Chains A and B, each alone.
Chain A
């Protein structure tokens, strides 16, 4: 039996003093893909941030499996696009490089491994030609791809995406879906993907984590579809 990469046991999720989801129990299994669905304000972002280690559980226990190096498994977090200050002259290359900062000590320079990972991440989301461009001058889809490349540069075992398709036109949504399916088949990475209901999303994932009335329901895509 495979140990879950991440497990939540009776976890209360939310911001300090503001619980949003209560008594969440969940196991994230290696190689699976999960859609996190729910209405606005239901707690999708809070759940993803808790899994990514950004929010501490208010109550309960969250456990991350140890990686080969002894550290707990790395979770790559892809925020919503507005998360990055558009006034700063950050280039695409600089934004992606930030993803490697967790693996490099302050006195070290970026090593060959980090540079290769950055190149691979850019190739994977097809933005090699945007390296010198300012992040703030990119289209919505390009910005989203840059943020995915940044998360990939951190060498994640689990990739968490917070509404990557929000406010994108239909054509860009199709491109993003194609890229994420390709990423999944290339790497076998575990994906957690929060979004509003998009039929195409259910073709990419195996399980659905549905948030309703402050509780989380775990089900397969088939079960979710049967419930309508």
Chain B
């Protein structure tokens, strides 16, 4: 540690020499870290010694078939709702930005309605759609002609109701993100596209949207994660996702805390995994934004390992 200081041959140091300054002392960092560690240790201790938690039960239920089925359904609902709602959001944002007053008003109304009412209320409403319309039919309005008719509850199952509620609600939020992204693109881009003879639709999809993606993706990552967690709200209409499965089990064995721990572990795991694709998407749509692309996590890991080995090599060379 002290070798760089003692080996410094002070009088002959040239002006071009490397700066080897003694680091500034920062005692408060050490003190605050120690306090924090103590608090965390106390909390962990209170959990570990708590007789109300049966730890083996957490391990037992973590890979229970019902829990795994719940995890699967949660993922399916999240991905499906996210994909469909994103497409819908692009459509709604395009409508809102269009010069057509009918489309932009319709888009505004949609966002107003779906963003202005609680998600929980929307979920229950979709779940109870059968109470509002007992049958859904396709026909000619104001006549008796009916081409197709179905019992509402057989078409809108709990899964479908949950999917619709999550998707339609999310589309309202995402559309504002997409719109903000579109507004962030320089007006000159539209003019350049128009001057090359591109139509408004072509300009939107090929020139403006890809550039807007750079701004859109980070907040969409947020939306994806809140979507994943919001699937737990579907327990109110008995969709058998992760949280519903866990509460069904705990209502029988009364191990509420243990099953909540299982659920939390799974949600944490899934949200961690879901932030990986975001990184790669940001990289992909960041093309051209800066002169060099940031390294992928893999490249970064390799660089870090290379860094670790380098100082030891130089240390070996020195003596």
Real binding pair: no
Residues on A lying within 8 angstroms of B by beta carbon are: none
